[in-house]
């Protein structure tokens, strides 16, 4: 292990276990000085923080999308339209609560409450800053931490899916049911890739506790060694929150409004609220896992022996990073069209899941090489000791990537050639070849048929296209 | 119980629940109540709702397939989580074993892909 | 939390046969995914045969001498487990030969062209005309064999449960894949699945109770805990034992838990029925023997009377119900229930000769059963199997070979001397008389009477085949070499084990000692 620590210092923290006083499986954040009433106060403060952020983000989205579409966005309700969200929320409070007769009353009311509540819960384990002094107690700026905190977030996201499917089913009508099913299928398909992307982060940090993960990124943010995980996570987080380009569940024009067609008034507002809070949660999780949580970015954490990298300053950096993700969400919405459902599912199941699994295996091998499972010898390159095993593993991975790219390239060129050949217009055609007379394309000649075939009678079916046959199924 | 880390979580969840339930309840109290037959019918863009909407309709079977595949891969990632967290202590044996496990899952995945189970149609 | 990770000892040669079959199953699935449909049948048959032969070779060459606990106590390789694993592999080999029979068609005749197509739909018709077949049966069977081999070698209850599920789930699927009378087959699969899931749940619940009693799921530790007999948690013991045994007795078809057997055996494709009847019994009895003799033998005075009653009921009801059957597969199903009762008699003797007797009976019964069901696949009326007994009338005149072979199988089932049935019954009943006390003697008496009842039924079938006139349209078609080999091996062994049981009986006796 000592030979490994002579690597560049920024890699040392990735390789070595965190400080021996706290084993990685136990959360690093120290809650010993936090009495219960202080936890309750922190819960209230965090709740207010979330709601304020939600108010601002709804306004922010509408303004930014407006500007992207060359229009002002809301600017009448309050200065710069800032009160727009609040007024909209109050308005929905005063709307009539319509419930269709065919709806299952209990579930119809329970579903939005479940959805909104579960959206809030995940934020409890996100570290928002370092240890601060609140009302005379030293407490971390984090509501709570568990040794399986990241797993809690994934679990709660699964429960939130209940809110969707129950809404769809309990509305008692076809469009919401189909919308709810499609949305749930979408969420669970991408949840797998999300979990797998995070496995690479756990391999590096040796822990699922958010405070430990943030601490392990003190010197190097995980976006660098786990870059592919980051890309996959960003894609899946857009898929999980039903945002454009993946908002197929509520695609207007396809399924009316999807699973919340029958909802009005504040019940609908709960879904709206829940969607934005979900966006915050996944952005916060991305910040924690990949962008170093509340740590200051590179120039700032070197100033003044880490003054900007502790305590209340952490809240500032965290909020900036989270809002970068929110801007990214809004930018996507303003720019991209919606994908088609089967394209979306094919992308998730056929590309993301196997790709992420292979990436996790690759990271496991790289970590194994770094930790010395594959042998201890190392060579010196440019003054640093690098284990031979790491070089071999990275070499093998590069070769594998090149081979895959070469194969894909070959298949693409083959396909293009086949398409070009199929698009070739033959010089001379028989106009009755398909059973019906066809006119010639520009540059074509018609061959005179020897006998004119009898045209099919009206009403007789030539080939039944609707019956499924095994020819159009896969092997 | 004082140092149970789940207690603050419970506070937070209660806050969320109170907010959500309270607002929905407030909405039901404050909002107008002018019920009529048209509002009680399921919404189908103004058309008469088709009769099969009453019992909610049957679920097409491709959703069951997606759900089953989700279970399999989610349980696989469940096995990967403790492996990732305990990786430092486990050694080469665990790495090889996990690779074999993932290969086994990949074999099943290849079969499902080739049979068209991953096509949404 | 941060303790050093200590790896368990793994004896790879001991578990090598399991690993070989697992590798074969994975290769089988890959063949399903990537090999073109035209050659898939032959490739799968090759993969299956090579896998079973390789596993058998490894087992007999290396693993036979590698007795002991391995994988942290989860897997036990001892005499009975090696013997039963070898027998399971032999039966799997023979069943594969029968399953792969095509009768000249494009795909295996026993299995539907496309399992996912609704029976009677256009999709099914187009699949049939395209020559499709369910070659997935081969890797499914291999997975089931892995489960069976693990089931007889499990050292703790959790491994046993995992093996139980691994062996059952492919069988549920295989039961639903018959080519003809598909609705009946799917109904049989659903019944088997539902009842099998319930019994697995009972087993798991019993395992949880035993864990609560003993503090461990390890079978040896449970035995120790029972021996220590602390009175505190006593209330957990008997319910735990009862539930675990219920789960296992379901698998063999013992009497209050036999309801699935006739329906599943009748609806399943006939080669699969042969495999189920032979191999599942071996696996389940291996587990019952291990639990009864090693794990739970400490308090056997408590549960022995119940099991004796179950054995008696099984023999009686199995024998009596065969009398009224008109369908040959249902008849063989009820007769297999009766045979399970006979084997339970051997188990109840609680002596090492009981173990060897039970194992010998399983061997003899298995070979005869596979041959019998293979012969049932041959008797056809207009292309589909003629399973009604009235259709078998006069078969002796039209196809004397098939009828004669089936008659030999029936005589073996009845226990007529010079067939393996007689020596098997002798080997099973002798320990009960010498070591089973009064209850053992009574069980043997009931057994003999039940045998007489079933003998009457079998003789009636023989009379129907040879001495009655039948309609001319039921014929016995000629099988290909593979099935002929399987039937021939089954019949030869049936006679051989009746005339010269010595070697196999000796092998069973030598392998009868459990590792404690």
Question: Which residues does chain C have with pLDDT short of 70?
Answer: 1-4
Dig out the tokens for A188 from the structure. 């669970």
Q: C111 forms bridges with which residues in the sheet?
A: C178
Residue given tokens 């507002």 in the structure block: A269
Q: In this complex, is the C-beta atom of B110 within 8 Å of any C-beta atom belonging to chain C?
A: yes
Q: What's the domain count of chain A?
A: 2
Using DSSP's 3-state secondary structure scheme, residue A418 falls into helix
C1, C2, C127 member nearest A470 (Cβ): C127
pLDDT score, position A13? 39
| Shared-domain flag, residues A330 and A345 | no
Q: Do B110 and C34 touch (CB under 8 A)?
A: yes
Q: Do B43 and A100 touch (CB under 8 A)?
A: yes
User: Are C191 and C185 within 8 A, CB to CB?
Assistant: no
Q: Chain B: give the shortest CA distance to residue A133, in Å.
A: 18
Q: In this complex, is the C-beta atom of C201 within 8 Å of any C-beta atom belonging to chain B?
A: no
Q: What residues in A contact B98, CB-CB < 8 Å?
A: 361, 364
Q: Calculate the CA C75 to chain-centre distance.
A: 21
The residues spanned by each domain of chain C are 16-510
Q: Do B111 and C26 touch (CB under 8 A)?
A: no
pLDDT score, position C199? 94
pLDDT score, position A52? 92
Mean pLDDT of A432-439: 76
CA distances to A445, B41, C499 from A428, in Å: 5, 60, 81
Residue ending a domain, choose from A305, A335, A365: A335
Q: Is the pLDDT of residue A2 over 70?
A: no
Q: In this complex, is the C-beta atom of B34 within 8 Å of any C-beta atom belonging to chain C?
A: no
* DSSP strand pairing (A445-446 vs A428-429): parallel
Q: In this complex, is the C-beta atom of A188 within 8 Å of any C-beta atom belonging to chain B?
A: yes
| Shared-domain flag, residues A154 and A139 | yes
CA-CA distance, C272 to C134, in Å (whole number)? 13
B24, B52, B102 member nearest A270 (Cβ): B24
Q: In this complex, is the C-beta atom of A61 within 8 Å of any C-beta atom belonging to chain B?
A: no
Q: pLDDT per residue over A304-347, tens digit each?
A: 777 777 788 889 999 999 999 999 999 999 899 888 888 889 99
Domain encompassing residue A321 = 24-335
Q: Is the pLDDT of residue B11 over 50?
A: yes
CA distances to A379, C73, C156, C365 from C151, in Å: 50, 14, 10, 20
SS3 labels along C186-253:
HHHHHHHHHHHHHHHHHHHHHHHHHHHHHCCCEHHHHHHHHHHCCCCCHHHHHHHHHHHHHHHHHHHC
| Best to test chain B binding among C5, C117, C173 (most B CBs inside 10 Å) | C5
CA-CA distance, A409 to A441, in Å (whole number)? 33
CA-CA distance, C216 to A261, in Å (whole number)? 53
Dig out the tokens for C210 from the structure. 């035993």
| Shared-domain flag, residues A86 and A204 | yes
Using DSSP's 3-state secondary structure scheme, residue B91 falls into coil
Q: Is the pLDDT of residue A6 over 70?
A: no
Q: What residues in C contact B114, CB-CB < 8 Å?
A: 32-34
* DSSP strand pairing (C379-381 vs C384-385): antiparallel
| Shared-domain flag, residues A133 and A248 | yes
Nearest Cα to Cα of residue C249 among C260, C264, C236, C238: C260
Q: What is the widest separation between alpha-carbon atoms in chain C?
A: 80
| Shared-domain flag, residues A117 and A190 | yes
User: Are C35 and C43 within 8 A, CB to CB?
Assistant: yes
Q: Find the helix packing angle between C182-214 and C157-175, rounded to 10°.
A: 170
Q: Do C123 and A468 touch (CB under 8 A)?
A: yes
Q: Do B89 and C34 touch (CB under 8 A)?
A: no
B56, B98, B115 member nearest A364 (Cβ): B98
Q: pLDDT per residue over A210-225, tens digit each?
A: 999 998 888 889 998 8
| DSSP state letter for C280 | I
CA-CA distance, A52 to C27, in Å (whole number)? 57
* Residue A455 belongs to a domain: no
Nearest Cα to Cα of residue B22 among C95, A270, C415: A270
| Shared-domain flag, residues A324 and A371 | no
pLDDT score, position A472? 53
Q: pLDDT per residue over A375-415, tens digit each?
A: 666 666 666 666 777 788 888 888 988 998 999 999 999 99
Q: Chain B: give the shortest CA distance to residue C23, in Å.
A: 10
Q: Can you spell out the DSSP letters for C443-456?
A: HHHHHHHHHHHHHH
A25, A467, A475 member nearest C37 (Cβ): A475
CA-CA distance, C108 to C41, in Å (whole number)? 8
Q: Do A116 and B40 touch (CB under 8 A)?
A: no
Where b means 16+ CB within 10 Å and e means fewer, B89-98 reads: ebeeebbeeb
Q: What residues in B contact A151, CB-CB < 8 Å?
A: 81
Q: Which residues contact C297 (CB under 8 A, 6 or more apart)?
A: C223, C350
- Per cent of chain A over pLDDT 90 is 29
| DSSP state letter for A99 | -
More confident residue, A454 or C197: C197
Sign of CA dihedral C305, C308, C313, C314: positive
User: Are A84 and A60 within 8 A, CB to CB?
Assistant: no
Average pLDDT score over chain A: 82
User: Are C110 and C275 within 8 A, CB to CB?
Assistant: no
Q: What residues in B contact C7, CB-CB < 8 Å?
A: 91, 93
State the complex-level ipTM.
0.87
Q: Calculate the CA A320 to chain-centre distance.
A: 19
Q: pLDDT per residue over B54-90, tens digit each?
A: 445 567 888 889 999 999 999 999 999 999 998 888 8
User: Are A171 and A259 within 8 A, CB to CB?
Assistant: yes
Q: What residues in C contact B110, CB-CB < 8 Å?
A: 29-30, 33-34
| Shared-domain flag, residues A158 and A295 | yes
* Residue A436 belongs to a domain: no
3-state helix, strand, coil in chain B (%, to 5): 70, 0, 30
* Residue A160 belongs to a domain: yes
Dig out the tokens for C127 from the structure. 């699949």
Q: In this complex, is the C-beta atom of B31 within 8 Å of any C-beta atom belonging to chain A?
A: yes
Q: Find the helix packing angle between C420-435 and C352-376, rounded to 10°.
A: 150
C5, C7, C33 member nearest B114 (Cβ): C33
| Shared-domain flag, residues A275 and A367 | no
Mean pLDDT of A73-94: 85
Q: Do C123 and A26 touch (CB under 8 A)?
A: no
pLDDT score, position A4? 37
| Shared-domain flag, residues A329 and A345 | no
CA-CA distance, C48 to C92, in Å (whole number)? 9
| Best to test chain A binding among B1, B9, B91, B104 (most A CBs inside 10 Å) | B9
Chains that touch A (3 or more CB pairs under 8 A): B, C
Q: In this complex, is the C-beta atom of A369 within 8 Å of any C-beta atom belonging to chain B?
A: no
Where b means 16+ CB within 10 Å and e means fewer, A426-456 reads: eeebeebeeeeeeeeeeeeeeeeeeeeeeee
Q: In this complex, is the C-beta atom of B64 within 8 Å of any C-beta atom belonging to chain A?
A: no
Q: In this complex, is the C-beta atom of B11 within 8 Å of any C-beta atom belonging to chain A?
A: yes
User: Are A301 and A263 within 8 A, CB to CB?
Assistant: no
Q: A428 forms bridges with which residues in the sheet?
A: A445
User: Are C320 and C379 within 8 A, CB to CB?
Assistant: no
Lowest mean pLDDT among A3-7, A296-300, A321-325, C26-30: A3-7
Which among A30-39, A130-139, B79-88 has the top mean pLDDT? B79-88
Nearest Cα to Cα of residue C101 among C370, C281, C413: C370
Q: Is the pLDDT of residue A464 over 60?
A: no
| Shared-domain flag, residues A80 and A185 | yes
CB < 8 Å from B in window 373-412 of A: 373-374
Phi and psi at residue A386, to the nearest 5° = -120, 130
Model confidence band, residue A10 (pLDDT cutoffs 50, 70, 90):
very low
Using DSSP's 3-state secondary structure scheme, residue C136 falls into coil
Is the model's pTM score more than 0.90?
no
Dig out the tokens for A272 from the structure. 């709206």
| Shared-domain flag, residues A180 and A286 | yes
* Residue A426 belongs to a domain: no
CA-CA distance, A116 to B18, in Å (whole number)? 11
CA distances to A79, C425, C447 from C340, in Å: 86, 12, 11
Nearest Cα to Cα of residue C447 among C318, C321, C351, C283: C318
Where b means 16+ CB within 10 Å and e means fewer, C92-116 reads: bbbbbbbbbbbbeebbbbbbbbbbe
Which helix (DSSP H) or strand (DSSP E) does residue A111 occupy? Answer: helix A105-121
Domain annotation for chain B: domains and CATH numbers: 6-114 (1.20.58.1610)
| DSSP state letter for A165 | H
B16, B49, B73 member nearest A120 (Cβ): B16
Helix residue spans in C130-181 (DSSP H): 137-152, 157-175
Q: Calculate the CA C279 to chain-centre distance.
A: 3
Residue given tokens 């983000």 in the structure block: A57
B2, B11, B113 member nearest A43 (Cβ): B11
Using DSSP's 3-state secondary structure scheme, residue A379 falls into strand
Q: Do B86 and C5 touch (CB under 8 A)?
A: yes
Phi and psi at residue A409, to the nearest 5° = -60, -45
What size, in residues, is chain A? 475
* Residue A356 belongs to a domain: yes
Nearest Cα to Cα of residue C252 among C322, C329, C196: C196
Lowest mean pLDDT among A4-18, A149-163, A207-221, A245-259: A4-18
CA distances to A268, B87, C42 from A92, in Å: 8, 51, 68
What's the number of CA atoms in the CB half-sphere (13 Å) around residue B100? 10
What's the number of CA atoms in the CB half-sphere (13 Å) around residue A360? 35
| Shared-domain flag, residues A382 and A250 | no
Phi and psi at residue C47, to the nearest 5° = -60, -45
């Amino acid at each position: 292990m000592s030979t490994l620590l002579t690597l560049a210092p920024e890699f040392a923290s990735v390789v070595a276990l965190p400080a021996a006083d706290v084993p990685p499986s136990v959360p690093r954040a120290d809650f010993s000085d936090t009495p219960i009433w202080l936890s309750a106060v922190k819960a209230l403060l965090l709740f207010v923080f979330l709601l304020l952020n939600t108010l601002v983000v709804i306004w922010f989205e509408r303004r930014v999308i407006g500007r992207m579409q060359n229009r002002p966005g809301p600017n009448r309700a309050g200065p710069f339209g800032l009160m727009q969200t609040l007024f909209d929320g109050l308005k929905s409070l005063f709307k009539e609560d319509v419930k269709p007769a065919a709806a299952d009353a209990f579930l119809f009311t329970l579903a939005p409450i479940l959805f909104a509540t579960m959206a809030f819960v995940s934020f409890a384990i996100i570290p928002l800053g370092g240890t601060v002094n609140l009302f005379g107690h030293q407490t971390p700026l984090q509501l709570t931490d568990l040794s399986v905190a990241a797993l809690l977030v994934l679990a709660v996201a699964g429960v939130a899916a209940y809110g969707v499917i129950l809404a769809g089913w309990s509305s008692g009508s076809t469009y919401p049911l189909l919308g709810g099913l499609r949305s749930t299928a979408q969420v669970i398909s991408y949840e797998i890739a999300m979990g797998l992307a995070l496995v690479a982060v756990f391999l590096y940090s040796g822990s699922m506790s958010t405070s430990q993960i943030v601490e392990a990124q003190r010197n190097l943010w995980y976006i660098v060694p786990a870059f592919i995980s980051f890309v996959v996570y960003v894609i899946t987080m857009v898929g999980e929150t039903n945002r454009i380009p993946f908002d197929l569940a509520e695609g207007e024009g396809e399924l009316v409004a999807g699973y919340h067609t029958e909802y009005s008034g504040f019940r609908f507002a709960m879904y709206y609220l829940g969607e934005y809070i979900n966006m915050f949660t996944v952005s916060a999780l991305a910040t924690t896992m990949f962008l170093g949580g509340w740590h200051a970015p590179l120039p700032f954490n070197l100033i003044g022996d880490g003054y900007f990298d502790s305590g209340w300053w952490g809240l500032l950096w965290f909020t900036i990073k989270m809002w970068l993700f929110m801007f990214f969400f809004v930018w996507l919405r303003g720019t991209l069209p919606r994908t088609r459902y089967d394209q979306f599912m094919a992308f998730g199941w056929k590309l993301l899941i196997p790709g992420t699994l292979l990436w996790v295996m690759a990271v496991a091998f790289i970590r194994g090489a770094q930790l010395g499972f594959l042998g201890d010898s190392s060579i010196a390159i440019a003054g640093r000791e690098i284990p031979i095993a790491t070089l071999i593993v990275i070499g093998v991975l590069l070769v594998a990537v090149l081979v895959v790219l070469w194969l894909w390239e070959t298949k693409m060129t083959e396909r293009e050639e086949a398409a070009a050949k199929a698009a070739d217009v033959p010089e001379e055609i028989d106009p009755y070849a398909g059973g019906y007379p066809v006119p010639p394309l520009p540059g074509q000649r018609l061959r005179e048929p020897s006998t004119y075939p009898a045209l099919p009678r009206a009403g007789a079916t030539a080939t039944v296209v609707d019956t499924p046959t095994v020819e159009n199924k896969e092997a | 119980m004082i140092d149970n880390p789940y207690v603050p979580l419970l506070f937070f969840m209660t806050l969320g629940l109170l907010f959500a339930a309270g607002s929905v309840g407030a909405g039901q109290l404050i909002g107008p109540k002018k019920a009529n037959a048209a509002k009680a019918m399921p919404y189908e863009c103004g058309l008469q709702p088709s009769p099969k909407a009453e019992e909610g309709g049957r679920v097409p079977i491709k959703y069951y397939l997606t759900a089953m595949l989700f279970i399999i891969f989610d349980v696989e990632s469940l096995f990967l989580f403790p492996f990732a967290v305990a990786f430092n202590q486990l050694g080469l044996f665990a790495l090889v074993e996990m690779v074999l496990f993932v290969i086994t899952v990949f074999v099943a995945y290849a079969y499902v892909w080739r049979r068209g189970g991953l096509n949404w149609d | 939390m941060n303790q050093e990770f200590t790896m368990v000892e793994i004896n790879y040669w001991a578990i090598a046969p399991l690993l070989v079959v697992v590798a074969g199953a994975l290769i089988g699935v890959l063949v399903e995914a990537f090999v073109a449909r035209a050659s898939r049948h032959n490739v799968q048959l090759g993969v299956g045969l090579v896998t079973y032969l390789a596993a058998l070779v490894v087992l007999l060459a290396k693993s036979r001498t590698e007795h002991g606990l391995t994988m942290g106590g989860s897997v036990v390789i001892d005499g009975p487990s090696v013997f039963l694993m070898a027998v399971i592999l032999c039966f799997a080999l023979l069943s594969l030969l029968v399953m792969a029979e095509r009768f000249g068609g494009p795909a295996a005749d026993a299995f539907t062209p496309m399992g996912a197509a609704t029976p009677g739909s256009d999709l099914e018709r187009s699949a049939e005309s395209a020559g499709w077949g369910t070659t997935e049966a081969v890797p499914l069977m291999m997975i089931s064999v892995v489960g069976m081999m693990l089931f007889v070698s499990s050292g703790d209850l959790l491994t046993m449960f995992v093996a139980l599920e691994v062996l059952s789930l492919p069988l549920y699927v295989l039961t639903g894949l018959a080519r003809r009378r598909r609705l009946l087959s799917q109904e049989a699969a659903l019944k088997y699945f539902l009842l099998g899931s319930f019994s697995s749940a009972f087993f798991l619940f019993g395992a949880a109770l035993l864990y609560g009693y003993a503090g461990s799921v390890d079978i040896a530790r449970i035995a120790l805990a029972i021996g220590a007999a602390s009175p505190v948690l006593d209330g957990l013991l008997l319910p735990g034992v009862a539930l675990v045994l219920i789960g296992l007795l379901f698998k063999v078809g013992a009497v209050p838990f036999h309801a699935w057997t006739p329906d599943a055996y009748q609806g399943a494709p006939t080669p699969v029925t042969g495999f189920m009847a032979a191999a599942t019994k071996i696996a389940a009895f291996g587990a019952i023997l291990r639990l009864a003799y090693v794990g739970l033998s400490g308090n056997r005075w408590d549960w022995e009377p119940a099991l004796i009653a179950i054995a008696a009921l099984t023999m009686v009801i199995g024998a009596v119900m065969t009398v009224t059957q008109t369908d040959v597969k249902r008849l063989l199903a009820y007769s297999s229930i009766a045979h399970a009762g006979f084997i339970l008699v051997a188990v109840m003797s609680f002596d090492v000769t009981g173990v060897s007797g039970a194992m010998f009976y399983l061997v003899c019964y298995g070979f005869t059963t596979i041959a019998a069901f293979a012969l049932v696949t041959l008797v056809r009326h207009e292309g589909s199997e003629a399973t009604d007994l009235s259709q078998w009338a006069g078969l002796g005149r039209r196809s004397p070979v098939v009828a004669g072979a089936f008659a030999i199988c029936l005589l073996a089932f009845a226990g007529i001397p010079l067939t393996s049935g007689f020596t098997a019954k002798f080997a099973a009943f002798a320990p009960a008389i010498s070591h089973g006390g009064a209850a053992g003697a009574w069980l043997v008496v009931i057994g003999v009477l039940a045998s007489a009842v079933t003998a009457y039924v079998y003789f009636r079938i023989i009379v129907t085949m040879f001495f009655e006139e039948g309609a001319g349209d039921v014929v016995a078609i000629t099988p290909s070499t593979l099935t002929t080999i399987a039937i021939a091996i089954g019949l030869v062994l049936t006679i051989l084990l009746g005339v010269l049981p010595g070697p196999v009986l000796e092998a069973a006796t030598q392998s009868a000692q459990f590792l404690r």
